[in-house]
Amino acid sequence: MIPIVGLIVGIVLGLLFQPSIPFALQPYVPIAIIAALDAVVGALRALSEGRFDDRVFVISFLSNVLIAALMVYLGDQMGVGAQLSTGVIVVLGIRIFANAAAIRRRYLHA
C-alpha cells in the first residue's frame, strides 16, 4: 500500500511543481524511467514470491537508473546515438515482460 502511495505522491509532486527537464538531460529520462520500471516490476514479482527486500530493491533501482544513464551517455559520446539506448531498452523490456509474466502466472494461472 505504502509504495503505491509513494508513487502517487511522486506524480502529484510532479504535477504540482511542473519542472521542465533541461534539454541536455532529456535523452536520459525515458531510459531512466524504463530502468526504474524494471526494478519496480522485479520488486513486484519478488513481493508476490514473498522474497521482497527493501535493500535489494533500492540498490537495484539506483544501479539500474545509473547504468542506463551511463549507457546513454556513452552512446552519445561514441557517436552511435540512439543505438546503445535501443539495446538498453530491449534488455530491460525483456526483463520487464519476463517478470510480469511470472507475476501473471502466479496470480492468474495463465
Would you call 89 exposed, middle or buried from its count of C-beta atoms within 10 A (0-12, 13-18, 19+)?
middle
**Closer residue to other proteins in complex, CB, 78/90:** 90
Q: How far is the CB of 25 from other proteins (least distance, A)?
A: 11
CA atoms within 13 A on the CB side of 53: 5
**Closer residue to other proteins in complex, CB, 3/81:** 3
Q: Could you list the residues that contact other proteins (CB under 8 A)?
A: 2-3, 6-15, 18-21, 29-30, 32-33, 36-37, 39-40, 42, 45-46, 49, 51-62, 91, 94-95, 97-99, 102, 105-106
Task: Tell me how far apart the alpha carbons of residues 65 and 50 are, in angstroms, rounded to a whole number.
Answer: 24
**Closer residue to other proteins in complex, CB, 78/105:** 105
Site of grid cell 546513454? 72
Q: How far is the CB of 24 from other proteins (least distance, A)?
A: 14
* Alpha helices, DSSP H, located in 19-53: 28-48
